[in-house]
Chains A and B, each alone.
Chain A
Amino acid sequence: AQSVTQPDIHITVSEGASLELRCNYSYGATPYLFWYVQSPGQGLQLLLKYFSGDTLVQGIKGFEAEFKRSQSSFNLRKPSVHWSDAAEYFCVVLSGGSYIPTFGRGTSLIVHP
Chain B
Amino acid sequence: EPEVTQTPSHQVTQMGQEVILRCVPISNHLYFYWYRQILGQKVEFLVSFYNNEISEKSEIFDDQFSVERPDGSNFTLKIRSTKLEDSAMYFCASSRQSGANVLTFGAGSRLTVL
Residues of B within 8 A of A106 (CB): 42-43
On whether the beta carbons of A105 and B42 are closer than 8 Å, the reply is yes
Q: Which of B33, B56, B103 has the most CB of A within 10 A?
A: B103
On whether the beta carbons of A43 and B43 are closer than 8 Å, the reply is no
Residues of B within 8 A of A101 (CB): 45, 103
On whether the beta carbons of B107 and A104 are closer than 8 Å, the reply is no
Interface residue? A100 (CB, 8 A): yes
Chain A interface residue count, Cβ-Cβ cutoff 8 angstroms: 22
How many A-B residue pairs have C-beta atoms within 8 angstroms? Tell me. Answer: 45
On whether the beta carbons of A100 and B48 are closer than 8 Å, the reply is yes
Residues of A within 8 A of B48 (CB): 99-100
Q: Which of A11-19, A20-28, A34-42, A68-76 contacts B (4 or more CB under 8 A)?
A: A34-42
Measured in the bound complex, the distance between the Cα atoms of B103 and A49 in whole Å is 11
On whether the beta carbons of A105 and B41 are closer than 8 Å, the reply is yes
Q: Which of B13-21, B64-72, B94-102 contacts A (4 or more CB under 8 A)?
A: B94-102
Partner of A43, one of B56, B99, B107: B107
User: Can you name the residue of chain A whose Cβ is closest to the Cβ of B56?
Assistant: A100
Interface residue? A44 (CB, 8 A): yes
> Which chain B residues numbered 42 to 88 have a C-beta less than 8 Å away from chain A?
42-45, 48, 56
Interface residue? B108 (CB, 8 A): yes
On whether the beta carbons of B99 and A103 are closer than 8 Å, the reply is no
On whether the beta carbons of B107 and A32 are closer than 8 Å, the reply is no
Interface residue? A83 (CB, 8 A): no
Residues of A within 8 A of B3 (CB): 43
On whether the beta carbons of A44 and B98 are closer than 8 Å, the reply is no
Residues of A within 8 A of B41 (CB): 105
Contact A46:B107 (CB < 8 A) given known A101-B45, A103-B44: no
> Residues of A at under 8 Å CB distance from B?
32, 34, 36, 41-46, 49, 51, 90, 94, 98-106
> Residues of B at under 8 Å CB distance from A?
3-4, 6, 33, 35, 41-45, 48, 56, 91, 93, 98-100, 102-108
